[in-house]
Amino acid sequence: MYTSPILKLGKRDGLLARTTHPVVIAGPCSAESEEQMLQTARGLKKLQGVSIFRAGIWKPRTRPGSFQGMGTAALDWLKTVKQETGLRTACEVAGTSHVAEALKHGVDVLIIGAHTTVNPFLVQEIADALKGVDIPVLVKNPVNPDLLLWLGALERLQQCGISDLGAMHRGFSTLDNAPYRNHPKWDHVVELKNTHPDLPVYCDASHIAGRRSLLRPVSQRAIDLGYDGLMLEAHHNPATALSDAGQQLMPQELDMLLQSLNYKSIDPEAARLGVEMEELRKQIEHLDDELLDLLSRRSKVSARMGNIPRHSITEAPQVVHWDLVLDSLLLQASNAGVNKDFVQTVFQEVRKHYAQTYLYQA
């Protein structure tokens, strides 16, 4: 789908690469208060596998008036979480002032959000602000399913000296995302992994799923595909969350989820073939829809033919004999590599059906 890589992206011996188990990043969608951060972090600290605590400090919200995050003040709470629990910390940065504040407060991992990855100007500014600071950076996919835009953002950061770089898959906005919040389009990430085997890849299962019931299957698929890490939103009391309440888990629920995942079944090749099969099924579904649409359009034309009384046609129409029409169709079929017997059967049936239904002379 896209051209060969300009640069080798990411590395296998950094903080972001998996070792035996996937790295788990967890924490609230938004930092809301010091109490909320600490209560959540204390719960997460007890879980095996969670090593990085995330929290949204500045929130990109669709509409003004929604909760926009607590801003810089919340970076102090992130620092307290780190001091008290020993967990590493991560937050999204969407501009150079965010970068400066996050670095000043000792954040360990920076995340470029989906709404920032879409903007190469902004990504370049962030990359320039990070020159000389080799901090781990995770780049989320852009909102739209554009692999080159994602790759471009990763390359901009790599060119500015970020060596511990990772891609974070959070799903894409498509015409029909159901049942997800953001459609995973797993085949895009399979392609990215194939062309950039050293690039750690994370799955933001929370923003793909958008609801708790889908977190497990999405996380399992990511593990089966050999992802390096998972990101899951967690809140000590999700019902009161100021953003993304429907997709966050309590620390003990996250524990159950992580324990229920099958980490042994990793056969990335089988999982890759599963993704390919899913993609091909989708293509067949679209083609069948198109076939049906064509049949319906043909019905309408046949019905109009049936409505013209034969005796009222004064001039003999230029009727091409059916055998000649069929010969030409069969020739087209063999040029297109489609089985001729099959084509003959299909067209004979189609013609017979419409002639009988609409009572015109075939």
Q: Which does 32 bind (CB under 5 to 8 A by kind): ligand PEP, Mn ion, none?
A: none
- The residues of the shown chain that bind ligand PEP, judged by CB under 6 A, are 29, 56, 60, 92, 113-115, 140, 170, 204, 207
Measured CA to CA, the distance from residue 115 to residue 304 in angstroms comes to 51
Q: How many CA atoms lie within 13 A of 274 on its CB side?
A: 11
Query: Nearest distance from residue 294's CB to ligand PEP, in Å?
Result: 39
Contacts of residue 324, Cβ cutoff 8 Å, sequence gap at least 6: none
Q: Which does 113 bind (CB under 5 to 8 A by kind): Mn ion, ligand PEP, none?
A: ligand PEP
Which of the stretches 74-82, 94-102, 243-251, 305-313 binds Mn ion when contact is defined by CB under 5 A?
A: 243-251
Q: Which does 170 bind (CB under 5 to 8 A by kind): Mn ion, ligand PEP, none?
A: ligand PEP
Residue 231 in tokens: 């990101």
Nearest residue to the partner ligand PEP, using Cβ: 113
Q: Is 244 in the site for Mn ion (CB under 5 A)?
A: yes
Which CB sits closer to ligand PEP, 56 or 184? 56
Which CB sits closer to ligand PEP, 127 or 232? 232
- Taking a C-beta distance cutoff of 8 angstroms, is the pair 54, 45 a contact? no
Across the chain, where does the E strand assignment appear?
A: 23-27, 50-54, 88-92, 109-112, 137-140, 165-169, 201-204, 229-233
Query: Nearest distance from residue 202's CB to ligand PEP, in Å?
Result: 11
Cis amide linkage into residue 179, ω under 30° from 0: yes
- Taking a C-beta distance cutoff of 8 angstroms, is the pair 211, 227 a contact? no
Query: Nearest distance from residue 202's CB to Mn ion, in Å?
Result: 15
Amino acid identity, residue 247? Answer: Q
**Which residue in the set 23, 26, 29, 137 belongs to the binding site for Mn ion (CB under 5 A)?**
29
Q: Is 32 in the site for Mn ion (CB under 5 A)?
A: no
What does DSSP assign to residue 46?
T
Residues that bind Mn ion (CB under 5 A): 29, 244
